[in-house]
A and B are shown apart, each in its own frame.
Chain A
Amino acid sequence: MSKHHHNAPLPDTVLRVKALESLLIEKGLVDPEALDELIDTYETKVGPRNGAAVVARAWCDDNYKQRLLTDASAAIGELGFSGRQGEDMVVLENTPDVHNMVVCTLCSCYPWPVLGLPPVWYKSAPYRARAVIEPRAVLAEFGVTLDDDVEIRVWDSTAEIRYLVLPMRPTGSDDLDEHALSGLVTRDSMIGVGLPQAPVQQNR
């Protein structure tokens, strides 16, 4: 064994990011503390719970729901969530006749302020392509089967417009308060590839 145990070479991606980061910091174009704060935000603070709060509010407060459907960015801002890229939010309401589903066919635009960063499958080529071509088959793979007479609308996100699906309130949830309702809202239901959880039946 030699006296010095040197590090194994770093992977190419790591070296390239270190090169970018160190040069940009030296030029004063990015602030290292701001980078750390941003990473922490997306790792720990922003996620689908934000969107669930929006959905639960809309289920409980019809006035809020109307504001959400007419000016989603402002209504979402009421709960303290706002976008960083100046994007416009649009909320799509599911009804017994229409089911909405969201994709980004070109890259992976996603409503960060309400859902955090996208899951791996959302960023995959099969989802990007197939959500548009055969949404019903994709939904089936996610465990969602809709009646044939339900129209499926697929919405393609862009850098400027991000969509959030407002799922239907589950049956049997009439007694639940807003907080309990938000616990039923899944990330996938707000992308439109899932449904909210059913409320747990209380034994009386």
Chain B
Amino acid sequence: MNAPDLSLLPDMRRDDAGPVFAEPWQAQAFALAVRLSENGHFTWPEWADYLAHEIAAARRAGTLDLGDTYYEHWLRALERIVTDKQILTTRALEERKRCWDEAARHTEHGKPIELADNQ
């Protein structure tokens, strides 16, 4: 374990109860993992292992990890567990991500973003 970095002190300050999720995607990623576990696709201890792995990897990569990147770790853990468990393939995720990107770029501002066809 690294020695405590005292320069980080100001960043550990207490927060007043702000919003639970900073952005909607965090709430969606949160809910997907909880529901998949509740539906029996993985146990919660399995999930905690995946999440802890991502957090440790981020620390090894030298990020400060001040709590604001928590849902980025969460999202990577979710992608890894669904592909490891063969619930979804990496390829399907990448293709679908491209579709959403295309759809967003071609949607007029203010209109809901929708995929052209069922994939």
Residues of A near any B CB (own CB < 8 A):
4-7, 9-11, 13-24, 26-27, 29-31, 34-36, 38-39, 42-43, 47-48, 84-87, 106-109, 116-117, 119-127, 129-130, 133-134, 138, 141-142, 158-160, 187-188, 193-194
A-B contact pairs, 10 of them (CB 8 A): A5-B108, A13-B75, A20-B29, A22-B96, A38-B31, A47-B17, A85-B37, A106-B56, A127-B67, A141-B9
Assuming the contacts A17-B75, A121-B14, A126-B11, asked whether A159 and B45 have C-beta atoms less than 8 A apart, the reply is: yes
In the bound complex, do residue B101 and residue A15 qualify as a contact, i.e. CB atoms below 8 Å apart?
A: yes
In the bound complex, do residue A124 and residue B39 qualify as a contact, i.e. CB atoms below 8 Å apart?
A: no
In the bound complex, do residue B39 and residue A30 qualify as a contact, i.e. CB atoms below 8 Å apart?
A: yes
In the bound complex, do residue B67 and residue A19 qualify as a contact, i.e. CB atoms below 8 Å apart?
A: no
Distance A6 CA – B110 CA, assembled complex (angstroms): 9
Picked from A4, A7, A138, the residue with its CB within 8 Å of the CB of B104 is: A7
In the bound complex, do residue A107 and residue B67 qualify as a contact, i.e. CB atoms below 8 Å apart?
A: no
In the bound complex, do residue A119 and residue B70 qualify as a contact, i.e. CB atoms below 8 Å apart?
A: no
Give 6 closest A-B pairs by Cβ, nearest first. A124-B67, A159-B48, A85-B44, A123-B67, A120-B67, A106-B52
Least Cβ–Cβ distance between A190 and chain B, in angstroms: 13
Q: How many interface contacts (CB-CB < 8 Å) are there between A and B?
A: 194
B39 / chain A contacts, CB cutoff of 8 Å: 29-30
Q: What secondary structure prevails in chain B residues at the interface with A? A: helix
In the bound complex, do residue B78 and residue A117 qualify as a contact, i.e. CB atoms below 8 Å apart?
A: no
Interface size class for chain B? Answer: 35 or more
In the bound complex, do residue B36 and residue A29 qualify as a contact, i.e. CB atoms below 8 Å apart?
A: yes
Least Cβ–Cβ distance between A54 and chain B, in angstroms: 18
In the bound complex, do residue A6 and residue B4 qualify as a contact, i.e. CB atoms below 8 Å apart?
A: no
A122 / chain B contacts, CB cutoff of 8 Å: 67
In the bound complex, do residue A107 and residue B48 qualify as a contact, i.e. CB atoms below 8 Å apart?
A: yes
Q: Which residue in chain B gives the minimum CB-CB distance to A86?
A: B44
In the bound complex, do residue A19 and residue B100 qualify as a contact, i.e. CB atoms below 8 Å apart?
A: yes
In the bound complex, do residue B100 and residue A129 qualify as a contact, i.e. CB atoms below 8 Å apart?
A: no
Distance A140 CA – B14 CA, assembled complex (angstroms): 12
A39 / chain B contacts, CB cutoff of 8 Å: 21, 27-28, 30-31
* B residues 78-119 in Cβ contact with A at 8 Å: 78-79, 82, 87-88, 92-94, 96-97, 99-101, 104-110, 113, 115, 118-119
In the bound complex, do residue A125 and residue B64 qualify as a contact, i.e. CB atoms below 8 Å apart?
A: yes
In the bound complex, do residue B88 and residue A129 qualify as a contact, i.e. CB atoms below 8 Å apart?
A: no
B35 / chain A contacts, CB cutoff of 8 Å: 30-31, 34-35, 38
In the bound complex, do residue B108 and residue A6 qualify as a contact, i.e. CB atoms below 8 Å apart?
A: yes
Least Cβ–Cβ distance between A152 and chain B, in angstroms: 16
Distance A141 CA – B56 CA, assembled complex (angstroms): 25
Picked from B27, B48, B65, B96, the residue with its CB within 8 Å of the CB of A23 is: B96
